[in-house]
Amino acid sequence: MARVESKHQEQLAKRQEKQRIIAEKQKVLAKRYRMKEEVAEVREAERREREEKNQEAEERTKEAQEAIESIRAVLRAGLQVGCVIDWKKLKNHEPFSKPQPKPPVYLEYPREPQAGDARYQPALNLEIGPEGPVLFAVPT
């Protein structure tokens, strides 16, 4: 009888292990399924966004083409009328309302020094005395 019980407990343990493994697999599969759903949702959102942008681009392109065509129509009409523009008549020949600015006032600088200027020539007081030549300072 002990053998039957141990066999029964063994089968019970195997069954519980299988159920645990199955539960783990179910969790993994459920997680994979949720991840696939999230990826699909993101892709769908990106697809919708692309479609919206494409539709907006098409609308803006159509508006731009209509604007270009309206400008062309104006140009064609102007050429068919053959109007000539006298640009000289369109010029404004009235004097300016503001007076012209005064010329700038520049500071007067002294002339550039020249090497021959007396100020830059050395002045030596040299006297020859009983002891030989003597150099004196020049008063300024």
Task: Determine, yes or no, domain membership for 100.
Answer: no
Predicted confidence at residue 33, as pLDDT, reads: 94
Predicted confidence at residue 37, as pLDDT, reads: 94
Task: Determine, yes or no, domain membership for 93.
Answer: no
Tell me the residue range of the domain where 37 lies.
1-67
Q: % helix / strand / coil in the chain, to the nearest 5?
A: 60, 5, 30
Count of domains forming the chain: 1
Predicted confidence at residue 39, as pLDDT, reads: 95
Predicted confidence at residue 132, as pLDDT, reads: 74
d(CA 41, CA 38): 5
Task: Determine, yes or no, domain membership for 30.
Answer: yes
Token pair of 118 as six digits = 């007396």
Task: Determine, yes or no, domain membership for 114.
Answer: no
Chunked mean pLDDT (size 10), the chain, 140 residues? 78 92 94 94 95 96 96 86 81 86 90 86 73 67
For residue 94, CA distances in Å to 97, 98, 101 come to 9, 12, 18
Predicted confidence at residue 83, as pLDDT, reads: 73
d(CA 84, CA 80): 11
Token pair of 47 as six digits = 């697809």
Predicted confidence at residue 137, as pLDDT, reads: 63
Task: Determine, yes or no, domain membership for 131.
Answer: no
